[in-house]
Amino acid sequence: MRNFLAFIRRFRVLLFFALLQGFALTVYFTFSSFPRTQYLTTASSVSGAVMDMRNDVTKHFALSGSNKKLQAENRWLREQLLANRMALKAPVGMDSVVLEKEDFIQRFEYIPGGIISSSFSRRNNYFTLNIGSKQGVKHGMGVISDKGVVGVIHNVSEYFSVVKSCLTENINVDIMINDSGESGFLKWNGTDPRRGNMIGVSNDRSIKKWAKIVTGGKSGIFPRGIPVGMVEKTLPVEGLPIWDVTVLFAENYRTVQYVYVIKNILKTEQELLEESIPDDPIEDE
């Protein structure tokens, strides 16, 4: 108490001045409209800026949950597309038949996941996903993003998986030009992470610049029609009757973060049937 009184006594002039100053400012802002308006405007701006910053921080921490929710919704929407289903019956002759939902069987399912590490500057590049066998991921499954094809599952552990991306030497995804149906395979020459090559297209075919390139769906790894990229340019291959087609990838593999692993429910049945095909074709009895 003695120290407090000594403090008051020592700074009494300064404290008295601060008290008078506070009183004067209160009267000024209370009875003068323009300064009061300026004060309220400034206070509102500061308060708004603080609230905006707080909102940005909140959104940042909630971003992961929002992305997971969005992935789950996109997964459901994808699985409703007819490209991911197989019709159980087909129209007879030229008669048109309206197929109902129960006339289809689900062929492809999607497992959402996130990329936790990646590379894009090596000759062979890989992504590591935060999902594994516990979530149903298996070797050989296709991987896509919202924009297009990403790669193929290479290795799987219980809770993680490694994706061989399209930026690898032996990716060999069967693709086609959407307009004409010309088919080929996707390759990467190891130089530009934004561009690949389509090989196997005969040079007697006319290919339009910027034509869309999509998955062919023959291997059963990807559904037909998943975006791969666009035709940027075509050049003849010396000594061979084919085009070297430069593909501008639909996905930027340096920035992709969220993906879907594709599960082909009927792939085992398809592979078992194809394994029964003899090397030397024989006539049906």
pLDDT, tens digit (0-9, with 9 covering 90-100), for 48-62: 455 555 555 444 444
Tally the domains of the chain.
1
Residue 33 lies in a domain: no
* pLDDT at residue 145 in the model: 94
pTM score of the predicted model: 0.69
44 band by pLDDT with thresholds 50, 70 and 90 = very low
Residue 246 banded pLDDT, cuts 50, 70, 90: very high
Flag whether pLDDT at 251 surpasses 90. Answer: yes
Mean pLDDT over 129-157 rounds to 95
Q: Average pLDDT in the 259-271 region?
A: 88
261 belongs to a structural domain: yes
Examine residue 259 and state whether it is found in any structural domain, yes or no: yes
Which tens digits make up the pLDDT trace of 170-209?
Answer: 888 999 999 989 999 999 999 999 999 999 999 888 899 9
Tell me whether residue 278 is in a domain: no
Asked if residue 126 is part of any domain, the answer here is: yes
Q: Is residue 69 part of a domain?
A: no
Mean pLDDT of the chain: 80
Domain enclosing residue 168, as ranges = 82-87+106-267
Q: What is the pLDDT of residue 162?
A: 96
Average pLDDT of the residues in 92-113 = 69
- Percent of the chain exceeding pLDDT 90 equals 47
Q: What CATH number did the domain enclosing 197 receive?
A: 2.40.10.340
* Domain annotation covers residue 119: yes
- Looking at residue 193, its pLDDT comes to 94
Q: Give the pLDDT of residue 271.
A: 80
Q: Give the residue carrying structure tokens 């206070």.
A: 43
Q: Look at residue 166 and tell me if it is in a domain.
A: yes
